[in-house]
Amino acid sequence: MRYSYYPGCSLHGSAVDYQMSIQACCNALKIMLDEIDDWNCCGATAAASEDHRLATLLAARTLAKCSEAPYPIAVSCNACYSRLNQVNAKMARYPEIREEVTAVLAESGLMLVDDYRVKHLLEIFCEDMGLDRLKEQVSQPLINLKVIPYYGCQMVRPRAYDHPEQPTSLDNILTTIGAQVLPFHKKTKCCGAALISTNEPVALKLVQKILDEASQRGADVIAVSCPLCQMNLDAFQDKVNSLFGTAYKLPVVYFTQLVGLSLGISVKKLGLDRGIVPAMPVLRTYL
C-alpha cells in the first residue's frame, strides 16, 4: 500500500511524537508514505473564518501537488483531513469555484485532477490494511489497558467514512491490539480546538467535560488521532485542575503510539516520552 502523505504543520512542530509513531507503525506494517513535495498549511479552521478564498486556495494547492501521483492522500490530522475533504467537495459541487482555483494554481504551473481520494490514517488502518492484518502483526497485546477512544469533532464531520455521532474505527483498532475500550459519550465532542488561544475559559470548560467523563469511566489513557486534541487534553490539565478544583492526571496518547507498542516498537521510537502527563508509568504495567 502506497500513499501521498500530507502530515500538516503540527507534525513537524508540536506533534513530532505523532509523526514518529506514524512512521514507525507504517514501516512495520508495510504502509508506504511518500510525503508530498513542497506542501503548505491547509488553513485548518482559522483561515476559513477569515478569508474563504484564501483558505480554499491553501488546501487546493496541496491537493494539486498530488496531481501527478497515482496514490490516495493519507492525512494524519483531523483538521487537515476535514479541510482537504471540504475543499475537494466544494470544487466538485461548484464549477465557478473550481474555475477560479484552477486559474490561480495555473499561474504556478499546478493543475487539478477530477477528484482526490483523501483518507485519514484511521480509515487506512481499518479499511485498506484491515484489522485482520493488524492483528496478525500484534506481538505484545495491551491486555486490560483501559482506553477512552476520543475522535474529536472534525474527523467525522461533515464528510467522513465513519459515523458522525457514533464512529467505531478507533474503537476497533484499540480492541484489535488487545486494549479494553471503554464506553464514552463524548467521543465526538469538541475539545475547544484553537479556542484555547482565543477564548481559553470556554476551551478549558470543554476540556474539563471530556477529562471528567474519561476519569469517571476509569480510563488508564485517552487515545486520540489529532494533534490539537492531544495538546488541549494533555497540556492544559494543570490549568483545568486549578480552575475546577480537580486532580486529573490522565495520559493522552496518539492511537499510533498504542499500536506501535502492540507491535513491539520501542518507547523511544514512538515518542512516548514526550507527553506533558507521563504515559509510561501507566503503560509499563501492561507491557
Across-strand partners of 5? 35, 74
In this structure, the chain runs to a length of 287
153 vs 141: CA distance, rounded Å? 29
At 266, the amino acid letter reads: S
> Residue written as cell 476519569?
215
pLDDT of residue 281: 94
pLDDT of residue 193: 85
CATH code, residues 2-119: 1.20.1050.140
**Alpha-carbon separation of residue 76 from 38, 128, 206, 259 (angstroms):** 17, 15, 23, 14
Q: What does the longest C-alpha to C-alpha distance in the chain come to?
A: 57
pLDDT of residue 159: 65
Could you tell me the residue ranges of all domains in the chain?
A: 2-119, 139-286
At residue 69's C-alpha, the angle toward residues 270 and 91, to 5°, is 100
Thinking of the domain 139-286, which architecture would CATH place it in? 3-Layer(aba) Sandwich (3.40)
Mean pLDDT per block of 10 residues along the chain (287 residues) reads 93 92 98 94 78 91 86 93 91 94 95 89 96 97 97 80 88 98 96 88 97 98 96 97 97 98 97 94 88
69 neighbors 34 (Cβ within 8 angstroms): yes
